[in-house]
Amino acid sequence: MYHAPIRELEFVLNELIGGDVYANCPADVAAAILAEAGRFAEQVLEPLNQSGDREGARWTAAGVIAAPGFKEAYREFIAAGWPQLNTQEQFGGQPIGRALAAAVEELWASANLSFKLCPMLTHSAVEALQLCGTPEQQALYLPKLVSGEWSGTMVLTEPQAGSDLGQVRTRAVPEGDRFRVMGQKIFITWGDHQMSDNIIHLVLARIEGAPAGVKGLSLFIVPKILVNAEGKLGEPNDVQCTSIEEKLGIHASPTCAMSYGERGGALAELIGKPGHGLEYMFIMMNAARLSVGLEGHALAERAFQRALEWAHNRMQGRGGSAIIQHPDVKRMLLVMKCSVQAMRALALFAAQELDSAEHRPDAGERARAKRRGEMLIPIVKGWCTEYGQEIVSLGIQVHGGMGFIEETGAAQYLRDVRISAIYEGTTGIQANDLLGRKLGPDQGASMMALIDTMTGELKRQSSAHPVPRLATAASLESVGWLREATASILKAYAAERDSALAVSVPYMKLCGLVIAGWLMARAATVAAAAADGAEAAFYRAKLDSVRCYIEQVLPQAQALSRIVCGGAGSVTQSDTALI
Ligand SMILES: Cc1cc2nc3c(=O)[nH]c(=O)nc-3n(C[C@H](O)[C@H](O)[C@H](O)COP(=O)(O)OP(=O)(O)OC[C@H]3O[C@@H](n4cnc5c(N)ncnc54)[C@H](O)[C@@H]3O)c2cc1C
């Protein structure tokens, strides 16, 4: 049984990050949303998770059929208004802010990752149209996408164009004020299904005669079923799902090979200006990357809950006691628990900075929050998904042999979480983004400003309680390692780019560990102040978690810092032919 960790989410939102979390949504409404989302995740989505994995989505000539129960769950999902969260009011949405939306999304992802991907991609399409659509396009498509009656997809990848989208070959030929799109796309999540009445594909394609590379790419609306000017559904468009992939995990999320324009060209509308397609994609990717990043700790939370239950019930060892009594099993569980809390804190902190970027009264502060939020996104995406896998894998270890057997469900989480470090840009691409787009342009000024903020706050912290004292000292030391590594990688980036790129992933992981460590130190101070109050058990558990993070996880930062400062040569100076 999955238990939505509402108290943990509220701790982060209310007591840890604060700020502009409730700029859009009063705290009591937010609490009701979280409670209701928790119920939906536990009672509707979670019961379909294992069966969805076993039975999967099915391709038929007439279209893809979702796994049993998914269509009904989707109907309930839209009837309850969940797709409307954090979309604009004028299109029927409820703009609750990114931090609260991210908290809700964690619940969907923990309960049923395959299901979560459908509304997530619809949300990306909504963001694109809100940002770049014409008023006519917005009026035609947004109300139905916001309500969830129609779903959306992101259609970028082609066999020869994965990380390098400059190689996209799908063509768009002008026809009157519209276009005909022709090409083959692969790996399109929820590219076809019958849960919604229509599917709005956002397709990256090259207008005939446009330059090669990324500058020639434009973004198009390609509906599965054509929509007339009054918004009524008409004929099917020239869009086909030709097959779905057999894959390691997320079996209930159809990963579709799509063919556009086999019968003369799929009718399409251009979004925004020609040649700006990738730029628009990048605007939206921040939201999507945050959403995928939190899949790391969402699955780790689910794996933790299952492992904890198992550890209490599996009798093995000293006098037939439960395995949780073994120090090593206890260690694994504590590491899982504190790591989930650290990743969650980091992801919601990043989301809150993006909320501040919209709500701070001062323009300078808004700009600072935007830079910081955007800098944190590749760290959340890269670190939480990579580390999330390690934590989910620990969950299998707690189960012993039964973790490797499908029956317990622990293995599914590992199979499912594996994709999160690949789609929406692999870990390597996140590290490139962090260095090239976030640190490079301002020579690390935003990162150094964050390092200064963390240092200042940690130096000001004073508590008589031993855990916050320990956490503050350890966190301060780790921020020092991050400062050193940041200076080193920036120097390398300026002098010889490959030396920096050879250690960019360890650097990104270091950022995640240390920034989350700072938030954990803050959590200790909050918890120590409340440890004797009405919720003593909750706060004492929090102190145990922080201590575990500080003693068992954060020390890895020193090793990562050493890799960043001295590990590049082993990569740059070795012969590719000899690997
Ligand atoms: C289940 C699933 C769902 C997906 N859903 C969608 C979807 O809905 N829409 C969509 O458009 N796409 C989707 N994708 C595609 C996904 O985004 C790509 O698979 C991903 O971007 C990686 O591209 P690739 O597979 O071609 O790998 P490649 O680009 O070939 O990468 C292979 C390796 O090389 C590394 N690499 C490549 N370039 C660089 C570089 N410049 N610097 C450093 N390292 C590099 C990568 O990090 C990786 O380790 C999905 C894929 C899967 C498997």
> Where is pLDDT greater, at 462 or 561?
561
Mutate to test the pocket of ligand 1, among 281, 419, 423, 501 (most ligand atoms within 8 A of CB): 423
- Contact of 235 with 273, CB cutoff 8 Å: no
Ligand 1 contacts CB of residue 436 (under 6 A): no
pLDDT band per the 50, 70, 90 thresholds, residue 110 = very high
Q: Which residue, by CA, sits nearest to atom 38 of ligand 1?
A: 163
User: Is 206 in a helix, a strand, or coil?
Assistant: strand
Give me ligand 1 centre to Cα 274, in Å: 24
- Contact of 153 with 202, CB cutoff 8 Å: yes
Mutate to test the pocket of ligand 1, among 280, 386, 422, 497 (most ligand atoms within 8 A of CB): 422
Give the number of the atom of ligand 1 that is nearest the alpha carbon of residue 190: 8
Residues 214-222, mean pLDDT to the nearest whole number = 97
Q: Residues near 320 by Cβ (< 8 Å), separated by ≥ 6?
A: none
Three-state SS letters, 298-346: HHHHHHHHHHHHHHHHCECCHHHCEHHHCHHHHHHHHHHHHHHHHHHHH
Here the tokens at position 82 are 């969940």
pLDDT above 80: residue 54:
yes
Give the Å distances, CA to CA, from 216 to 183, 202, 387, 515.
16, 16, 36, 38
- Contact of 433 with 425, CB cutoff 8 Å: yes
CA distance 350 to 379: 9
CA distance 453 to 438: 18
**In this predicted model, what pLDDT tens digit does every residue of 339-379 receive, in sequence order?**
999 999 999 999 999 999 999 999 999 999 999 999 999 99
Q: Hunting for tokens 């004492």 — which residue is that?
A: 540
pLDDT above 90: residue 527:
yes
**In this predicted model, what pLDDT tens digit does every residue of 270-316 receive, in sequence order?**
999 999 999 998 877 878 999 999 999 999 999 999 999 999 999 99
pTM, entire model: 0.98
Question: Is the C-alpha dihedral spanning 290, 292, 298, 304 positive or negative?
Answer: negative
Question: Pick from 384, 77, 109, 390: which is nearest to 253 by CA?
Answer: 109
**In this predicted model, what pLDDT tens digit does every residue of 34-47 receive, in sequence order?**
999 999 999 999 99
Ligand 1 contacts CB of residue 475 (under 6 A): no
pLDDT above 90: residue 317:
no
- The DSSP letter of residue 23 is S
pLDDT at 89: 96
**In this predicted model, what pLDDT tens digit does every residue of 125-176 receive, in sequence order?**
999 999 999 999 999 999 999 999 999 999 999 999 999 999 999 999 999 9
Give the number of the atom of ligand 1 that is nearest the alpha carbon of residue 428: 47
pLDDT above 90: residue 513:
yes
Mutate to test the pocket of ligand 1, among 285, 426, 507 (most ligand atoms within 8 A of CB): 426
Just list the catalytic residues: 424
**In this predicted model, what pLDDT tens digit does every residue of 393-419 receive, in sequence order?**
999 999 999 999 999 999 999 999 999
Percent of the chain with pLDDT strictly greater than 70: 100
Here the tokens at position 334 are 């504590």
Give the number of the atom of ligand 1 that is nearest the alpha carbon of residue 425: 21
Give the number of the atom of ligand 1 that is nearest the alpha carbon of residue 426: 47
Element at 418 (helix H, strand E): none
Ligand 1 contacts CB of residue 430 (under 6 A): no
pLDDT at 19: 74
pLDDT at 561: 98
CA distance 457 to 453: 6
Ligand 1 contacts CB of residue 419 (under 6 A): yes
Q: Residues near 369 by Cβ (< 8 Å), separated by ≥ 6?
A: 353, 354, 356, 357, 360
**In this predicted model, what pLDDT tens digit does every residue of 83-92 receive, in sequence order?**
999 999 999 9
Beta bridge partner(s), residue 227: 233
User: Is 195 in a helix, a strand, or coil?
Assistant: coil
Here the tokens at position 394 are 């620990």
- Output the furthest CA–CA distance in the chain (Å, rounded): 80
Residues 207-231, mean pLDDT to the nearest whole number = 96
Mean pLDDT computed over every residue of the chain? 97
pLDDT at 213: 95
Element at 489 (helix H, strand E): helix 466-495
pLDDT at 23: 84
**How many angstroms separate the first and last alpha carbons of the chain?**
46
Q: Residues near 411 by Cβ (< 8 Å), separated by ≥ 6?
A: 396, 403, 404, 405
